[in-house]
């Protein structure tokens, strides 16, 4: 599949929307996450609309709510917008309480489209991979980045995994399952300091 100028436009749009945003606790530019999710979508057979939605999957939730949704609709059309909507757990500011949002999001996956499931699972796979990678640097301090700590984080990813598995069995879901079980297996340890890096 050859990507069109729509994908290029979406990439520029995503960079501009998230230019001042960084990943929680790591300081990594947020666009790195969006690029990774889009790459995972393409690697697992996604179409261009799905890859574009992957670049924009956090735009409504984190960068402008309804106004951003309207901009996405006008620029990229209803298919992309529907996928972004399906990957967003709120467009409200301030956001509703965490537990209620996550439970509603998990419930919504029961009826989500295959395109939403693809982008959503790709997002969660990259999140879990990032936690695993950062754990190797900061150890148990990683759980301090999450408001619900280790217990709540593991609950969320297991609940998501079960929701995905109830809908479909794909190589992507199998890879996510392996990553979630690797998260389970992380020991209670201090960070292993890698030469040339800092745990702070």
Count of domains in the chain? 1
**CATH number for the domain including 119?**
1.10.3210.10
On whether residue 198 sits in a domain, the answer given is no
pLDDT at 195 > cutoff 70: no
Domain that holds residue 124: 5-184
Backbone angles phi, psi at 20, to 5 degrees: -100, 5
- Tell me what pLDDT residue 24 has: 79
Tell which wins on pLDDT, 175 or 26. Answer: 175
Task: Identify whether the C-beta of residue 10 lies closer than 8 Å to the C-beta of residue 50.
Answer: no
pTM for this model (two decimals): 0.91
On whether residue 48 sits in a domain, the answer given is yes
148-174 average pLDDT score: 96
- Tell me what pLDDT residue 196 has: 53
On whether residue 58 sits in a domain, the answer given is yes
Confidence band (pLDDT; 50, 70, 90) for 26? confident
The answer to whether 62 is a known catalytic residue is: yes
- Tell me what pLDDT residue 68 has: 95
Residue 119 to residue 96: CA distance in whole angstroms: 23
Task: Identify whether the C-beta of residue 59 lies closer than 8 Å to the C-beta of residue 14.
Answer: yes
On whether residue 154 sits in a domain, the answer given is yes
The answer to whether 184 is a known catalytic residue is: no
Using only C-alpha atoms, the chain has a radius of gyration, in whole angstroms, of 17
Confidence band (pLDDT; 50, 70, 90) for 193? low
From the candidates 48, 50, 58, 62, which is the catalytic residue?
62
Cβ partners under 8 Å of residue 134, min gap 6: 25, 26, 142
Most confident of 91-100, 135-144, 162-171: 162-171
- Tell me what pLDDT residue 188 has: 74
On whether residue 32 sits in a domain, the answer given is yes
Confidence band (pLDDT; 50, 70, 90) for 11? very high
From the candidates 48, 58, 61, 175, which is the catalytic residue?
61
Give tens-digit pLDDT for 65-86: 999 999 999 999 999 999 999 9
Give tens-digit pLDDT for 45-58: 999 999 999 999 99
On whether residue 193 sits in a domain, the answer given is no
On whether residue 87 sits in a domain, the answer given is yes
Structure tokens at 146: 């999450």
> DSSP letters along 83-100, please?
HHHHH-S---SSPPPHHH
Backbone angles phi, psi at 29, to 5 degrees: -55, 135
On whether residue 178 sits in a domain, the answer given is yes
- Tell me what pLDDT residue 81 has: 98
What angle is formed at CA 100 by the lines to CA 22 and CA 96, rounded to 5 degrees? Answer: 55
Q: How many helical (H) and strand (E) elements, i.e. helices and strands, does the chain have?
A: 9, 0
**CA 200 to centroid of chain Cα atoms:** 24
CA atoms within 13 A on the CB side of 172: 24
């Amino acid at each position: 599949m050859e990507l069109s100028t729509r994908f290029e436009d979406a990439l520029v749009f995503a960079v501009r929307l998230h230019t001042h945003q960084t990943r929680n606790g790591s300081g990594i530019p947020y666009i790195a996450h969006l690029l990774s999710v889009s790459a995972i979508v393409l690697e697992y057979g996604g179409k261009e609309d799905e890859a574009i939605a992957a670049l924009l999957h956090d735009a409504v939730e984190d960068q402008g709510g309804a106004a951003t949704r309207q901009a996405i609709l006008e620029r990229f059309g209803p298919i992309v917008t529907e996928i972004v909507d399906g990957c967003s757990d709120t467009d409200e500011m301030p956001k509703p309480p965490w537990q209620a949002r996550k439970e509603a999001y998990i419930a919504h996956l029961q009826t989500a489209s295959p395109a939403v499931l693809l982008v959503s699972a790709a997002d969660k796979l990259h999140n879990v991979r990032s936690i695993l990678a950062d754990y190797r640097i900061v150890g148990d301090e990683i759980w301090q980045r999450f408001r619900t700590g280790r217990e709540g984080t593991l609950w969320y990813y297991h609940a998501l995994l079960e929701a995905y598995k109830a809908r479909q069995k794909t190589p992507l879901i199998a890879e996510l399952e392996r990553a979630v079980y690797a998260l389970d297996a992380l020991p209670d340890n201090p960070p292993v300091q890698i030469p040339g890096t800092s745990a702070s």
